[in-house]
Structure 1
Amino acid sequence: MLLDIQTFLANDRFVLSWFNGSNSVFLDGWMSALTSGFTWVALYASLFYLVVKNNETMRQIALVVGCALACVAFADIMADVIVKPLVERWRPSNDPIFKYDVAVVDGYRGSSYGFFSAHAANTFSLALFFCLLVRSRVLSVALVLWSLINCYTRMYLGLHYPSDIVCGLLWGSVCAIGVYFFYLRVSRKMFGEDNYVSTQYTSTGYRLCDVDIVVMVLVATVLFTLFRALFIFY
């Protein structure tokens, strides 16, 4: 059993080496920008706009916003408050044995423990909840890619092993699905159920033009971080 664990850890480190770091100052700057929560404030604002524009009452808006916040809260509390202190698995960047083999950016090594990734759990729980809520293929692809980009940056920066990311994604999925079913139950009880058949709306009643705004904000944010990294690099 010990040998199996050691083999797993060795494989985890090997896979991490494929994603961790580079010799590019430009990529270092870009990954640092993409991993920051502040970078995505405009995206969060656009999602809030989407909810406000496509729900008729304050109670409906409050239910959706509350559920979205619950996804993030459940994901974050489980990762940062419960699992990390219990498991006490070092981040790659802080592992006493391995940390000097890990590429970090600007000396940033994060907090002590990394299992499992709160970034992966938070972003994927929010992304999957809105995928289920809105039912737009374009938005779903955009939000899932957004979450995966965040996951990649954590490995690039040496802050998480691949297994930290995978477990974070799984827990984020559990949070999103659980909260979404709660949302469905409460929403149907309070507001009934509507089915939309229109080329202007998704099947759950969200205007496609408003969905496009969220996607454009996400793309614009990525481009902004890209140009910012290029500007700093040059």
Structure 2
Amino acid sequence: MDLNILIWIHQHLVFEQLNGFFIFITNLWGDGILTVLLTLFLLIKKETRLTGLVIAVSLLFNLLVVNLTLKPLVARPRPYTLYEIDMLLPVQTDFSFPSGHSSSVFAFVWAYFITRKDRMRWIFVTFALLVCFSRLYLFVHYPTDVLAGIIIGILCAYFSRWLVFRFTNTTWMHKLLE
């Protein structure tokens, strides 16, 4: 079923005019530079430091859960290994489940979303959804990989917020956040 959904997306929603856009979106998030710069920017500014800290912790938990635990444990092959397709991206060297792009973008975006109440959070959610769709569009993940990634990213964000807020009551944490 997963592969059938992915094939349907490829046959009905992939257009040559959009290829460059989705390659750009997936690479913009995938190389990690944007993630680091945005997190550092939030950590530097006093009024967003707590959000930056929640995001940093969320991304760390996401890395541990997804890249170091679930991907090697599940070891699901990428969809293009089972269905011949002209790839728009280089062959990925890691496993498919769960989607690291989807989980990390939601670990970041949802941590921002639950700690800030500004309009920017909706722009971030839109961007996150585009990143997730790009993984399907580019045929490097199954829909369940992306869905699992979104769920894991959101759970990492909530856990990180709980953890950071729990320890922000300590004196040393207050000094760190000032």
Three-state SS of the structure 2 residue aligned to 1:99 is coil
- Say whether residues 1:80 and 2:67 are aligned partners: yes
Distance 1:189 1:163, change over 3 A: same
- Residue of structure 1 in register with 2:83 after alignment: 99
1:43 positional shift: 6.9
Three-state SS of the structure 2 residue aligned to 1:113 is coil
- Residue of structure 2 in register with 1:182 after alignment: 163
Three-state SS of the structure 2 residue aligned to 1:171 is helix
- Structure 1 stretches lacking a partner, 5+ long: 1-10, 192-234
Q: Deviations over 1:9-45 (max 9, x none)?
A: xx11121123337340x32222111101367745753
Read off the aligned partner of 1:85 and give its amino acid letter: P
Distance 1:43 1:139, change over 3 A: farther
Q: Deviations over 1:171-190 (max 9, x none)?
A: 11110000001121222444
State, as a whole percentage, how many aligned pairs show the same letter: 21
- Structure 2 stretches lacking a partner, 5+ long: none
Distance 1:87 1:42, change over 3 A: closer
- Residue of structure 2 in register with 1:231 after alignment: none
User: Would the aligned equivalents of 1:13 and 1:161 in 2 still touch at CA under 8 Å?
Assistant: yes
- Residue of structure 2 in register with 1:69 after alignment: 56
- Residue of structure 1 in register with 2:7 after alignment: 17
Distance 1:109 1:119, change over 3 A: same
- Residue of structure 2 in register with 1:198 after alignment: none
Distance 1:43 1:135, change over 3 A: same
1:51 positional shift: 4.2
Q: In the comparison of the two structures, how many residue pairs are matched?
A: 170
1:147 positional shift: 1.1
Three-state SS of the structure 1 residue aligned to 2:108 is helix
1:125 to 89, 107, 113: 107
Larger radius of gyration between Structure 1 and Structure 2: 1
User: Would the aligned equivalents of 2:110 and 2:154 in 1 still touch at CA under 8 Å?
Assistant: yes
